[in-house]
């Protein structure tokens, strides 16, 4: 239904033991930068897509970090009427990143609007230890990551708070029941990443056979 959504997509996922949220973000920006530097060497290919190699060469850490609160304040200063617990949508992402040349992180989201498995900030338990990486120039979120809840009792408490049935997540609970360690993880949308680096107008152009909401075949 949007230029950045597919009904079926490729997802690169990673989980790292003993990584906190800050290490998680640093790993992500290092990975994204590495791929951009490699892509920048393929000048003929980039020329076909009207992408300047110099643009990708400049995608280097550190990436800008803003809090969820700062994002809401910025949006409201540009005419939005955002309240706490409001999500940041596609049009909001455009406003936040239209003047950025590199991806940015938005961190410190209210845990109630994030996933049940995200760890809480011990300094402010109302917040999740998470961050979304937004691509520049309005291309939208390309990575979502967080510290994970790794203690069984905390996970069960979170499932109850989110009104989720533990039976539906037995396999996930087992990962904690039989031993776990502090860890973080993230997921990167491959097609979204391609859409950004090649400056494509629609995500369907980033995959040979796009699955969209009104199309089943081929």
| 99-132 pLDDT tens trace | 999 999 999 999 999 999 999 999 999 999 999 9
**Cα end-to-end distance, the chain, whole Å:** 19
Helix (H, G, I), strand (E, B) or coil at 190: helix
Look up tokens 């005419």; give the residue.
79
d(CA 145, CA 103): 14
Range of the domain at 161: 11-83+91-206
Classify the phi-psi angles of 9: left when phi > 0, otherwise alpha if psi is within -120 to 50, otherwise beta: beta
d(CA 141, CA 149): 23
d(CA 182, CA 23): 12
Sign of CA dihedral 34, 108, 203, 138: negative
Q: Answer yes or no: is pLDDT of 2 > 90.
A: no
d(CA 60, CA 65): 14
| Partners of residue 36 on adjacent β-strands | none
For residue range 164-173, list pLDDT tens digits in order: 999 999 999 9
- Let me know if residue 74 belongs to a domain: yes
- What is the pTM assigned to this prediction? 0.94
For residue range 58-106, list pLDDT tens digits in order: 999 999 999 999 999 999 999 999 999 999 999 999 999 999 999 999 9
- Let me know if residue 4 belongs to a domain: no
pLDDT score, position 171: 96
- Let me know if residue 198 belongs to a domain: yes
For residue range 39-48, list pLDDT tens digits in order: 999 999 999 9
Q: Among candidates 91, 97, 66, which has minimal Cα distance to 79?
A: 91
| Banded model confidence at residue 212, pLDDT cuts 50, 70, 90 | confident
Q: Answer yes or no: is pLDDT of 218 > 80.
A: no
Q: Is the separation of the CB atoms in 139 and 2 below 8 Å?
A: no
Indicate the number of domains in the chain. Answer: 1
- Let me know if residue 103 belongs to a domain: yes
d(CA 192, CA 206): 8
pLDDT score, position 214: 77
- Let me know if residue 151 belongs to a domain: yes
- Domain of 35: which CATH number? 3.30.930.10
Q: How is residue 179 annotated by DSSP?
A: -
Structure tokens at 8: 């079926």
- Let me know if residue 215 belongs to a domain: no
Higher pLDDT, 217 or 66: 66
- Let me know if residue 1 belongs to a domain: no
For residue 183, give every residue at least 6 positions away whose Cβ sits within 8 Å of its Cβ, in sequence order, or none. Answer: 15, 16, 17, 18, 19, 147, 148, 150
- Let me know if residue 189 belongs to a domain: yes
């Amino acid at each position: 239904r949007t230029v950045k959504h597919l009904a079926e997509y490729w997802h690169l996922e990673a989980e790292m033991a003993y990584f906190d949220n800050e290490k998680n973000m640093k790993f992500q920006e290092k990975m994204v930068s590495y791929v951009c530097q490699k892509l920048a060497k393929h000048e003929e290919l980039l020329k076909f897509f009207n992408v300047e190699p110099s643009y990708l060469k400049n995608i280097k850490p550190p990436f800008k970090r803003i809090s969820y609160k700062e994002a809401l304040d910025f949006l409201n200063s540009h005419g939005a009427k955002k309240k706490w617990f409001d999500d940041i949508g596609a049009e909001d992402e455009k406003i936040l990143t239209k003047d950025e040349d590199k991806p940015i992180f938005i961190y410190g989201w209210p845990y109630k609007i994030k996933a049940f498995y995200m760890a809480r900030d011990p300094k402010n338990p109302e917040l999740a230890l998470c961050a979304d990486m937004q691509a520049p120039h309005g291309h939208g979120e390309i990575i979502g990551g967080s510290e994970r809840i790794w203690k069984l009792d905390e996970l069960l408490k979170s499932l109850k708070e989110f009104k989720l049935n533990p039976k539906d997540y037995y396999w996930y609970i087992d990962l904690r029941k039989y031993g776990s360690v502090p860890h973080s993880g993230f997921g990167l949308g491959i097609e979204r990443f391609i859409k950004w680096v090649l400056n494509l107008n629609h995500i369907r152009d980033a995959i040979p056979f796009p699955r969209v909401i009104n199309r089943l075949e081929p």
